[in-house]
Amino acid sequence: MKVYKCFRILGWDFTITPTRFVLTGLVLLMVAAVLLRLLTGFQYVTNLTDETPWGMWIAFDVMCGVALAGGGYSTALLVSMLRYKEFAVVGRGALLTSLLGYILVMAGLFLDIGQWFNFWRPFVSWGYTSVLFEVFWCISIYTTILSIEFFEIITERVLVKKLHKYIVKILPILIVIGLVFPVLHQSSLGGLFLIMKEKMFPLWWSEFLPIYFLMSSFFIGSAMVTVETTLAKSAYGHEIPHNIMMKLNRIGASIMGAYLLLKLYDLFEKHEWGYVFQGSLQSNMYCLEMVFGIIVPIMIIISPLSKKRWGLLTYAWLTVLGVILNRLNCVFTSMYESGSYFPGIGEIIVSAGLISMGVLIYCFLVENFNIIGNERAVQIKIDKDKDIKNLIWALLRTKKR
Q: What is residue 399's predicted lDDT score, i.e. its pLDDT?
A: 47
Is the backbone of residue 308 left (phi > 0), alpha (psi -120 to 50) or beta?
A: beta
Average pLDDT, integer, range 7-33: 85
Cβ distance 298 to 257 under 8 Å? yes
State the pLDDT confidence band at 337, using cuts at 50, 70 and 90.
Answer: low
Which has the closest alpha carbon to 382: 152, 158, 150?
A: 158
Q: What is the mean pLDDT of the chain?
A: 85
Which of 92-101, 111-120, 229-238 shows the lowest per-residue confidence on average (mean pLDDT)? Answer: 229-238
**Span 125-129, average pLDDT:** 81
Task: Summarize pLDDT for 68-91 with one digit per residue, the tens.
Answer: 888 888 888 888 777 788 888 888
Residue 304 scores a pLDDT above 50: yes
Percent of the chain whose pLDDT exceeds 90: 41
pLDDT 10s digits, 91-113: 888 899 999 999 999 998 888 88
Q: In percent, how much of the chain has pLDDT > 70?
A: 88
Residue 36 reports pLDDT greater than 90: yes
The pLDDT confidence band at residue 239, using thresholds 50, 70 and 90, is confident
Most confidently modeled of 367-371, 376-380, 383-387? 367-371
- Tell me phi and psi for residue 13, to 5 degrees: -100, 145
Q: How confident is the model at residue 380 (pLDDT cuts 50, 70, 90)?
A: very low
Cα–Cα dist 101/162, whole Å: 29
Burial of 215 (0-12, 13-18, 19+ CB in 10 A): buried
Q: What is the pLDDT of residue 142?
A: 92
Pseudo-torsion of CA 305, 306, 307, 309, nearest 10°?
Answer: 90
Structure confidence at residue 352 (pLDDT): 94
Q: Is the pTM of this model over 0.95?
A: no
Angle between helices 209-236 and 242-270 (to 10 degrees): 160
Phi/psi of residue 116, each to 5°?
A: -60, -25
Q: How confident is the model at residue 43 (pLDDT cuts 50, 70, 90)?
A: confident
DSSP 220-244: HHHHHHHHHHHHHHHHH-----HHH
